[in-house]
Structure 1
Amino acid sequence: MKLLRIHTPEGLRDAVLNEDGGVLPLSGPSEPFDADRWRSRTPTGLSLNYADVRPASPLDPGKIVCVGLNYADHAAEGGQQAPAEPILFMKAPDTVVGAYDDIVIPRGAEKTDWEVELGVVIGRTAAYLTDEADAMAHVAGYVLVNDVSERHFQLERGGGQWDKGKNAATFCPLGPWILTADAVPDPQALRLGLDVNGTAMQDSSTAEMIFGVAFLVHYVSQFMTLYPGDVISTGTPAGVGAGQKPPRFLREGDVLRVWADGLGEQRNRLVAAP
């Protein structure tokens, strides 16, 4: 099942996307994320064409836990060793925007970069999970993520941490929908990629991840409690702007297309900060 939220004149509305591409709004206003409740709600009877709606982010995460250097080829393109255990950092909730919203290049930025990623949506409260099978029982579904990064802030002004380069407003496009876990037989077999102005920059598979989804959910739960609607963004493959020769960073007017198997695509335009 594909779960999404759409903008309407009355505000955000939860909806499902059927196999024919029809958007079925659900009755009542948008609610905090709960996959089971979402499934049980009644459609209004209205069917909209997906091309005619504007998707919002499909959820408002309480926290976004990101995994750094989780593809060996991405670590290598930055001249770094693959990590012995996951590198974790956070993105703030106000970085989240929808799949077709603008990305704002912040003031003082010099090296704004892209990172297509698979996002894991947590469905049940998870703390100190016992094993990877237990971890997968806490996954509600998957969502497309772009971990937009300002490398100048992250690496040259970071002071030993990455948060300065990861948390500008609009730096985490999510969606357009959540694909429920029962529709994904193997999260380690999804192709994903990213184009800049029509030129392919990233094209890989989640099979190349160093630490897989089950391991990551179990691992993260040992350090923090995960709640329904939290997102784990599982890292990006090679092909980021910093890895190009010469490096190629985003400029005002650039358009990103971000995609993954079953998760739809994003199209975001880069604009300058006001």
Structure 2
Amino acid sequence: MSEAYRLATVEGDGGSRVVVERKGLAVPLTALLEPDDLARLGGAPKDLMPLLEEWPHWSARLAERMAGKADRFGDAAIPADTLSFLPPIALPRKLICIGANYHDHIAEMPIPIVPTYPYSFLMSPSTTLRGSGAAVEKPSMTRMMDWEAELAVVIGLRCRDVPEESALTVVAGYTNFNDLSARDWIASRPPIGVDWVQHKNFDGFGPIGPYFEPAKFTGDPQALPVRLSVNGVTKQDSSTAQMVFGVAAVIAHLSRIMTLEPGDIIATGTPAGVGHGRQPPEYLQPGDEVRMEIGNLGELVTPIV
């Protein structure tokens, strides 16, 4: 296996660009590629989508370039902690979220019901996604703004009806996702059920990143630590092993409903420790800072304003 690296989309040079990070140092993706590579990409990519459109090719190509240009991570590299992060993918075609998918989270909620299949809903990617460090405004409409640390799966192959036993082969990689939630519309449900738009789709309710880690470096997606803190106090400390339906089962289920496409993001649910499940309940307020990290995906930081 080639030496591990992570990818990110960052602000710089008057716009966005992709960087490759290794051991705390980052270099522009363009510094590792040859002119024919950039021609194939249609120029320097502004986010990860052009790579994900041909992920099997670029995964192999990046391994070659990393081995051939290891010296680029020398004195000219950028310290990764100075980067200004954007969402790894600016406009994924789909942002699909799985609800009630951790045994420990189900147990802490007011009505603990274990689903019989992966329960899903959609979010608006063009308005909800925010990069690490970007502030999220607490909506005036909600009193019950909550946090949810989630493992996000990034699809790398167009696929339909994927068998569960081979489902992980369509995964390009993983990233952090904080599925912010307005619990007001769960605590007081109308007769027709939960209003998922008001619950999940306020602007900025999808902090994501900072890094995209290729799946070959992540290992078993069902063996990753999940941690989240608010103002330095640990709120969630669990493991993806707590999932009711693992990543492979979720992909198999969703691909029976719709074609999954490169760059699609699937957020796989949250473990115990959300504010709504605490006694007494706790909710986010302006001035709070949320930090979360799953495995080796970096720390996703979200100030609430």
TM-score, structure 2 as length reference: 0.84
2:80 pairs, out of 50, 62, 86, with: 50
Matches within 5 A, 1:52-71: 52-60=82-90, 61-71=92-102
Matches within 5 A, 1:192-231: 192-231=226-265
2:9 pairs, out of 2, 5, 8, with: 5
Instruction: Tell me by how many angstroms 1:33 deviates.
Output: 4.2
Give the secondary structure class of the aligned counterpart of 1:165.
helix
| 1:85 partnered with 2:102 | no
2-side partners of 1:242 and 1:169: how far apart?
A: 20
- Residues 70 and 254 of structure 1: CA distance in aligned 2, closer, same or farther (over 3 Å): same
How far does the alpha carbon of each residue in 1:200-244 deviate from its partner, in whole angstroms, 9 at most, with x for none? Answer: 110000011010011111111011111111111000001100011
1:30 pairs, out of 46, 52, 56, with: 46
| 1:152 partnered with 2:184 | yes
| Paired AA for residue 105 in structure 2 | H
**Root mean square deviation of aligned Cα:** 1.8
Give the secondary structure class of the aligned counterpart of 1:12.
strand
| Paired AA for residue 84 in structure 1 | T
The answer to which of 196-205 and 33-42 deviates more is 33-42
2-side partners of 1:171 and 1:76: how far apart?
A: 24
Give the secondary structure class of the aligned counterpart of 2:273.
coil
2-side partners of 1:106 and 1:140: how far apart?
A: 34
Unaligned 5+ segments in structure 2 are: 31-43
2-side partners of 1:155 and 1:216: how far apart?
A: 27
2-side partners of 1:155 and 1:124: how far apart?
A: 38
Matches within 5 A, 1:85-104: 85-93=117-125, 94-104=127-137
1-side partners of 2:214 and 2:203: how far apart?
A: 27
Give the secondary structure class of the aligned counterpart of 1:118.
strand
Instruction: Tell me by how many angstroms 1:72 deviates.
Output: 1.6
2-side partners of 1:33 and 1:264: how far apart?
A: 22
| Paired AA for residue 181 in structure 1 | A
| 1:178 partnered with 2:194 | no
Instruction: Tell me by how many angstroms 1:178 deviates.
Output: 0.7
| 1:114 partnered with 2:144 | no
How far does the alpha carbon of each residue in 1:135-175 deviate from its partner, in whole angstroms, 9 at most, with x for none? Answer: 11110001100000001134425641323210011101110
Instruction: Tell me by how many angstroms 1:63 deviates.
Output: 1.3
How far does the alpha carbon of each residue in 1:55-92 deviate from its partner, in whole angstroms, 9 at most, with x for none? Answer: 11111322111110001221121122111111101111
Contact between 1:89 and 1:163, CA under 8 Å: does it hold in 2? no
1-side partners of 2:294 and 2:273: how far apart?
A: 15
1-side partners of 2:202 and 2:187: how far apart?
A: 15
Give the secondary structure class of the aligned counterpart of 1:128.
coil
The answer to which of 131-140 and 226-235 deviates more is 131-140
The match for 2:293 is: 259
Give the secondary structure class of the aligned counterpart of 1:250.
coil
Instruction: Tell me by how many angstroms 1:38 deviates.
Output: 4.9
1-side partners of 2:264 and 2:226: how far apart?
A: 21
- Residues 107 and 38 of structure 1: CA distance in aligned 2, closer, same or farther (over 3 Å): farther
Instruction: Tell me by how many angstroms 1:95 deviates.
Output: 0.4
1:75 pairs, out of 84, 106, 111, with: 106
The answer to which of 78-87 and 201-210 deviates more is 78-87
2-side partners of 1:66 and 1:108: how far apart?
A: 22
Higher relative strand content: 1
Count of matched residue positions in the alignment of Structure 1 and Structure 2: 269
Instruction: Tell me by how many angstroms 1:9 deviates.
Output: 2.8
Contact between 1:154 and 1:164, CA under 8 Å: does it hold in 2? no
TM-score, structure 1 as length reference: 0.93
2:156 pairs, out of 111, 123, 129, with: 123
